[in-house]
Amino acid sequence: MSLFITCPVESVERATAFYAALGWTLNREMSDHNVSCFEIGSAQYVMLGSREMYAAVGGVEELVGGADTPSKVTVSFDLGSREEVDALVERAAGAGGRIGDIDDYPFMYQRQFDDLDGYHYSPFWMKPDADPEA
């Protein structure tokens, strides 16, 4: 199964630059001037569509919020190490993203960032030697 997360954005060009700065791979075959498609994992994609394109799909014009509208979902995903989590969040900061909290639990290390359109991401690393009872 493939997973596609579609997000309306204010500027496809600006959003494309942000996600490229994260180091994610642009799928040029699934991208054009109205939408950019980034592969964030095996068969997992973030689609960044213009607000006009997004609203035209399924007649959801009234549901498309602006950049000041809080994200209604959190996109969480695991990375291979604490350092990979920190590096991704630092790239997000360098590209203009808003950086949130650090959560360092006995079993998991997690950080937060929002992209330029307010979408919330929460990369984490599961600590391999953690006591599941802790």
Whether 117 has a pLDDT exceeding 60, the answer reads: yes
Task: Give the pLDDT confidence of 67-97 residue by residue, as tens digits.
Answer: 666 666 788 899 999 999 999 999 999 999 9
> DSSP string covering the chain, please?
--EEEEEEES-HHHHHHHHHHTTPEE-GGG-BTTEEEEEEETTEEEEEEEHHHHHHTTT-GGG---TTSPPS-EEEEE-S-HHHHHHHHHHHHHTTPEEEEEEE-SSEEEEEEE-TT--EEEEEEE-TT--TT-
> How many Å apart are CA 61 and CA 57, to the nearest integer?
9
pLDDT given at position 127: 92
* Mean pLDDT of the region 26-37: 94
What share of the chain in percent tops pLDDT 90? 60
Q: List the structure tokens of 11.
A: 């500027």
At residue 82, what is the residue type? R
Average pLDDT, the chain: 87
Cβ(7)–Cβ(14) below 8 Å = no
Greatest distance between any 2 Cα atoms in the chain: 50
pLDDT given at position 65: 64
pLDDT given at position 62: 59
Span of 17-26, 68-77, 82-91, 102-111 with lowest mean pLDDT: 68-77
Q: List the structure tokens of 8.
A: 């309306």
